[in-house]
Amino acid sequence: MNTPVAAPVSTKKPQDVQKEDAMWLQKELISKNYTELATARANNKKVSATFVPGNLNELLMCFDFARSLPETNALQNGMRKKSGKMIMDAERDGQSEDVCTYVKADLGMMMGGEVGPTGEVMPKPDVLLLSYTGCFTFMKWFELIRHKYGCETVMLHVPYQGEGKIAPNMRDYVVKQLKETVIPTLERISGVKFDIDRLRQYMRESAKAEEDLVKVLQSAKNRPSPIDGYFGAVYYIGPIFTAFRGTPEATQYYSMLRQEIEQRVRDGKGPITPEGEMGEEKYRLIVEGPPNWTSFRDFWKMFYDEGAVVVSSTYAKVGGLYDFGFRHDPDHPLESLAEYCLGCYTNLNLPSRIDMICKYIDEYQADGLLINSIKSCNSFSAGQLLILREVEKRTGKPAAFIETDLVDPRYFSGANVKNRLESYFQMVKAKRAALTGVH
Amino acid sequence: MRCFIGIDLGSTTTKAVVIDENQNILGRGITNSRSNYDTAATIAKQEALLNGRFYLFRQALGSTKALNGALDGFIGQLERDFRLEQYLEQLGDLEQTCHRSLATAKFGDSTKAVEGALGEVFRRLQGEAADLFKPGAKRKSDFFRDIAGSQYLSIGETVAKEAGTRYDFLLNVFDRSIIEVENRVYADSIRRHLLAALERTFVALPETAARRTQVEAPIKGILDTEMEETYVVGTGYGRARLPFSKEHIRSEILCHGLGAHVMYPHTATVLDIGGQDTKAIQVDPHGIVESFQMNDRCAAGCGRYLGYIADEMNMGLHELGPLAMKSTKNVRINSTCTVFAGAELRDRLSLGEKREDIMAGLHRAIILRAMSILARSGGIRDQFTFTGGVAKNEAAVKALNELVAENYGKLTLNIDPDSIYTGALGGATFAWRAVTEDGKVAENRPN
């Protein structure tokens, strides 16, 4: 596991769209994972499927599983404009219009012969690891696909941070489940014996990558911000929140990304957008809620065309929260995995989410908060207006609310979103002018 | 003189407001948005500037006291005469265009007969023109397309019958010509029309002719004053089509907020219900928007909802409110979907509910929807200003008053009769602020 990997260089650089070098590399990593999944059977590898928030990637690697992440599959299909048909297929199969569109895209992909985002056929999983971290749809999702695949499911129940903190008994409860249920099940299915030192080694890699990622995300505290902490950050978080956390490739990727971003800071440069360097930074925003994937580029363009950069977003913390100090700890491997699951963004209660957003507004000197509420997300859309009001009240900064969807292209009304965003940017400008005494 | 102009390009109508250096409203103009926003913007602006000239005439004539006591009558007559002059020129233009359209039409042997009929139709249209602009004459609308169109249809039908030609040939020619005429801008003719109208007015009101010199001098003085388009700000759905740079464009949310503040300086919450959207806006004491919410994904509960219901009931849009006011009973109608509301309406009718009670239920449904958007935006604060086309509907206002009182207690509800111009007024005020407070100069003055 200590084999050093050569410094990665990307060979896939189409000319029509601009990305940072690290972004191209990220794309390659993600597609590499799809190839690994597609060839898993041929290579005699077992396959696991698990969710992104608070995932147990290091643990799964200990059992040599190829790792599939259904939300990532759905969003990759969304970005590649494939999700619309999948969702309609799932609806024809009996799923209602209001069901989470990640779920429907996944079910639709299954109905279409499991052809994944890259065109390769995805294998049937051997195990579904259901780590339940705040999103109640997860349980129903795996219930549905367990029925379809007929494979084993192991559940890790992560207690909700209802009180806004992780109590010792919550951590003990998760560790107990890991020891008594999750690890024995994974051992049995994979046929690989659990080796805690192997886990520690992966975690050492994780901690290094996490340190670099935090530096990258916090670089947005600079003016101008060298990154977009939402549209750009979704590329940055790709490897660490999916199948790569704990691998040397990920560590290398984040080290390279950090160097690249630090150079941008030294050069006083703003973020790279698909159309090149962003112009003058006019608005610094915090965003709550995932992006829309089916019109990702159009959506981003509405921001950078107006000089709006997202300096921090809660979505960039969806897999795990590192910027307030958490790192995977090889000295306490199971406890640290438990804390990771317990601390991920989806497992936070409303007051904690509000605190986090207010902190971001202050630390990143943001002009305000924008909430992109997801039409089909029943877990997280609830309470978002409350968050908005409270953040407005506490920070005195203007906030706005728009609605789109994750991967259902029917729910992205470009003209309306643009209209609201432009109004919001102008509102921020007017408010800023009013504060300095000019209307 | 320096003029600050706001133009609001709505989905149905385009509005413009002109203010002066002291933020007095000089003029307002409105036109149908057509399919051509550039022309709509130009015409609305021109109408507002013209309306501004009349305002200035009134001011100048009022201060000289040349028409003591007869000022209102004189200005009214002058305006009607001006509209008549304008109408006659457009009619002449339409006639020529129709003849050109006829030349390319494929009417075969009938062409000659249609040409004769066309000549007769326009002769009668010219003959009836003056009556349309008589004092107290009722016109369906002030837009040329509507006035000339309805006259053409009724006269055309008679003439076609008398001449034994096909009526649909006449309609075809009209349809092919009206858009061209409608999209022509007659800015150069305004002075000429005003002077010609002045002569007509002196004939119509002989007692004013006696004071010709005292009356003519201030009017000509104002005609010679350039109304400089110092700064123009555009807003509304068509704003991206405006021939201005980005600096001159503001979102309609900001414009509505500021416009409502200018109309009622104590405004804290604004509700605007337009054709396709409902906006709830919170403004600070300077008219700066603090937060806003709009209907998402669906436009049920907006003005079009009423338009659809009017069609279903085979009634005019303006008849709905008065009918609903006669209601004596509450009938619940859903507000989630316009088409479903139409189905519910027929269902209630079949159950024997009275039309007026159903209408009142529909108005309440719209306002319930607005109440939810208002709640999302942060609730209703005192004072509360209601704008947009639906604010003219008394039944909607009644429902709003009731629901506000139930949910928020007693508040001041402001409704301006010119609330349709709120967005344009906000735009004009932004233009004024840009120049007087930020020292901006127009980078791109549209023609």
Q: What is the ipTM of this complex?
A: 0.73
Q: Where are the alpha helices (DSSP H) in B105-185?
A: 111-132, 144-163, 167-182
Q: Which top CATH class is B265-415? A: alpha beta
Q: Tell which residue, B39, B44, B327, has the closest CA to residue B185.
A: B39
Q: Which residue of A has its CA nearest to B247?
A: A426
Does the distance separating the beta carbons of A423 and B292 come in below 8 Å? yes
Q: Tell which residue, A158, A198, A172, has the closest CA to residue A60.
A: A198
Which residues, at least 6 apart from A236, have a Cβ–Cβ distance to it below 8 Å? A22, A26, A213, A216, A217, A227, A257, A316
Q: Output the pLDDT for position B241.
A: 67
Contacts of B291 in chain A (CB under 8 A): 392, 398-400, 427
Q: Tell which residue, B386, B400, B395, B388, has the closest CA to residue B320.
A: B395
Does the distance separating the beta carbons of B296 and A403 come in below 8 Å? yes
Residues A132-145 have a mean pLDDT of 91
Q: Which residue of B has its CA nearest to A399?
A: B291
Does the distance separating the beta carbons of A438 and B438 come in below 8 Å? yes
**A19 pLDDT higher than 80:** no
Rounded-to-5 percentages of helix, strand, coil across chain A: 50, 10, 35
Q: Residue A182: pLDDT band by 50, 70, 90 thresholds?
A: very high
Q: Output the pLDDT for position A14.
A: 53
Contacts of A438 in chain B (CB under 8 A): 437-438
Which residue ranges in chain B fall short of pLDDT 50? 444-447
Interchain CB contact of A420 with B (< 8 Å): yes
Q: Output the pLDDT for position B297.
A: 66
Interchain CB contact of B16 with A (< 8 Å): no
Q: Output the pLDDT for position B443.
A: 53
Contacts of A411 in chain B (CB under 8 A): 297
Does the distance separating the beta carbons of B254 and A423 come in below 8 Å? yes
Residue A356 burial class via C-beta count within 10 angstroms: exposed 0-12, middle 13-18, buried 19 and up? buried
Does the distance separating the beta carbons of A439 and B437 come in below 8 Å? yes
CA distance B25 to chain A (A): 20
DSSP run (H or E) holding B15: strand B13-19
Cβ-nearest to B291 among A375, A398, A422? A398
Size of interface A-B (CB pairs under 8 A): 56
> CA B92, B96, B101 angle in degrees (round to 5)?
140
Does the distance separating the beta carbons of A420 and B290 come in below 8 Å? no
> CA A42, A43, A45 angle in degrees (round to 5)?
110
CA torsion sign for A160, A164, A166, A169 is negative
Polymer length in residues for chain B: 447
| Cα-Cα end-to-end distance for chain A | 61
Does the distance separating the beta carbons of A426 and B251 come in below 8 Å? yes
Contacts of B9 in chain A (CB under 8 A): none
CA distance B426 to chain A (A): 13
Contacts of A422 in chain B (CB under 8 A): 251
β-sheet with A368-374: strand ranges across: A308-313, A283-288, A368-374, A399-404
Cβ-nearest to B254 among A385, A413, A430? A430
Q: Which residue of A has its CA nearest to B292?
A: A400
Does the distance separating the beta carbons of B290 and A431 come in below 8 Å? yes
Lowest mean pLDDT among A19-23, A239-243, A318-322, B69-73: A19-23
Contacts of B437 in chain A (CB under 8 A): 438-439
**Helices B144-163 + B111-132 axis angle, to 10:** 130
Interchain CB contact of B250 with A (< 8 Å): yes
The more confident residue out of B240 and A171 is: A171
Q: Which residue of B has its CA nearest to A430?
A: B288
CA distance B433 to chain A (A): 7
Q: List chain B domain ranges.
A: 82-182, 265-415
Cβ-nearest to A439 among B237, B290, B433? B433
Interchain CB contact of B438 with A (< 8 Å): yes
Does the distance separating the beta carbons of A438 and B437 come in below 8 Å? yes
Does the distance separating the beta carbons of A427 and B437 come in below 8 Å? no
Does the distance separating the beta carbons of A411 and B294 come in below 8 Å? no
**A25 pLDDT higher than 50:** yes
**A5 pLDDT higher than 50:** no
Interchain CB contact of B290 with A (< 8 Å): yes
Interchain CB contact of B286 with A (< 8 Å): yes
Q: Which residue of B has its CA nearest to A423?
A: B251
d(CA B300, CA B326): 24
Interchain CB contact of B248 with A (< 8 Å): no
Does the distance separating the beta carbons of B296 and A434 come in below 8 Å? no
Interchain CB contact of B202 with A (< 8 Å): no
Pairing, β B2-9 against β B13-19? antiparallel
Q: Output the pLDDT for position A82.
A: 95
Contacts of A413 in chain B (CB under 8 A): 297
Q: Which residue of B has its CA nearest to A386?
A: B376
CA distance A244 to chain B (A): 38
Please name the residue that has the structure tokens 């309406």.
Answer: B345
Q: Which residue of B has its CA nearest to A413?
A: B297
CA distance B213 to chain A (A): 46
> C-alpha distances in angstroms, A147 versus A106, A124, A155?
14, 12, 15
Q: Tell which residue, B8, B9, B5, B12, has the closest CA to residue B390.
A: B12
Contacts of B250 in chain A (CB under 8 A): 426
Q: Tell which residue, B402, B417, B241, B422, has the closest CA to residue B327.
A: B402
Contacts of B289 in chain A (CB under 8 A): 423, 427, 430-431
Contacts of B372 in chain A (CB under 8 A): none
**pTM for this predicted structure:** 0.82
Query: Maximum distance among all alpha carbons in chain B?
Result: 73
Q: Output the pLDDT for position A179.
A: 98
Lowest mean pLDDT among A69-83, A325-339, B52-66, B294-308: B294-308
Does the distance separating the beta carbons of B289 and A403 come in below 8 Å? no
Mean pLDDT over each residue of chain A, to the nearest integer: 92
Mean pLDDT over each residue of chain B, to the nearest integer: 88
Does the distance separating the beta carbons of B294 and A426 come in below 8 Å? no
**A244 pLDDT higher than 80:** yes
Pairing, β A47-50 against β A127-132? parallel
Does the distance separating the beta carbons of B251 and A422 come in below 8 Å? yes
Cβ-nearest to B293 among A401, A434, A438? A401
Interchain CB contact of B246 with A (< 8 Å): no
Residues A78-82 have a mean pLDDT of 94
Does the distance separating the beta carbons of B284 and A423 come in below 8 Å? no
DSSP codes joined into one string, A332-354: SHHHHHHHHHHHSGGGB-HHHHH
Interchain CB contact of A434 with B (< 8 Å): yes
Residues A378-396 have a mean pLDDT of 92
Lowest mean pLDDT among A31-35, A106-110, A234-238, B144-148: B144-148
Q: Which residue of A has its CA nearest to B294?
A: A420
